[in-house]
Amino acid sequence: MKDFKGRVAIITGAAYGFGNEFVKQAAKRGMKIVAVDIMGDKLQEVGPMAMELGAEDVTLITADVGIYEETERVVKTTLEKYGQIDLLMNNAGIAIPGDGINLPLRDWDWIVQTNLMSHVYFMRQVIPVMKAQGTHCNIMNTCSVAGVINFVGMVPYYTVKHAAVALAESTNYELQAMGADIAMGVFCPGYVQTNLDHSEEYRPARFRDDSDPYYQSEEFFKGQAAAKYVIETGAPNDIYGDLVFKAIEEDEFYVLPHVMYDGILKIQTGEKVQRKTPNIHELQAMIAAAKAAK
């Protein structure tokens, strides 16, 4: 997409982190913006900020994108107000640290619905709209570097992010096969100073059970502390909005800004080609050697 002015963008997870930066960039390009977030109070700050930066118009919608009916409401409101959808940015997401075999199943359901099914929900509604418009459109899904590499510590997060990348890749093939003028993309960053370590603040009531001893366990609090550390020591967030929008301008599919993960990506891709069993000790040794080389 080369010309953004006056075109319509739906941006989820818009109140914080990457989503907030995406809103800023859409506003600077003169877009009409539908900003969506589960945190309604924080979302109210987005409208005035976007208008001041140059947005043509802004609509704020408080919604839980892990519920299909909520995504229907977002899409319906967008079409009723603006009559078109040109850019979809599936950005809303959570992080749940912890061992996959110990994590409560409600947490698996929560991360699957938020980080994967929200992409499915929006794309199945928005793609037909984009096709019918007959104009060039874009979809950019935030998927994380955890969608292209694997490591120990956050099994549900790696699992769902891999699924989100696969969803985008296979959908991209489908769009090409049907001749749709829609460019897909996946944004796969490493650790960045977003609000991802505050995911518990966004936990919907349907996924909450304070009587479950897991949420008072050492494992739970250790995982929360680890998430806080890697996010707070991550890269500054303010450069990625412009980077992603430049990728959208060029219809780039893979937006992987952190080259320090390329070594792991090459090793794990090679393991598949060689039919080799993944080995945590070999991977840890490679990471240690890379750190020492710095």
Neighbour-count burial for 157-182, b at 16+ CB within 10 Å, e otherwise: bbbbbbbbbebbeebbeebeeeebeb
Catalytic residue among 16, 157, 202, 240: 157
- Other CB atoms within 10 Å distance of the CB of residue 274: 8
- DSSP 8-state code for residue 59: E
CA-CA distances (angstroms) from residue 60 to 15, 121, 151, 173, 198?
10, 19, 37, 32, 21
- 68 catalytic residue (yes or no): no
How far is residue 51's CA from residue 46's CA, in Å, rounded to a whole number? 9
> What are the percentages of helix, strand and coil residues in the chain, rounded to 5?
55, 15, 30
What residues act catalytically?
157
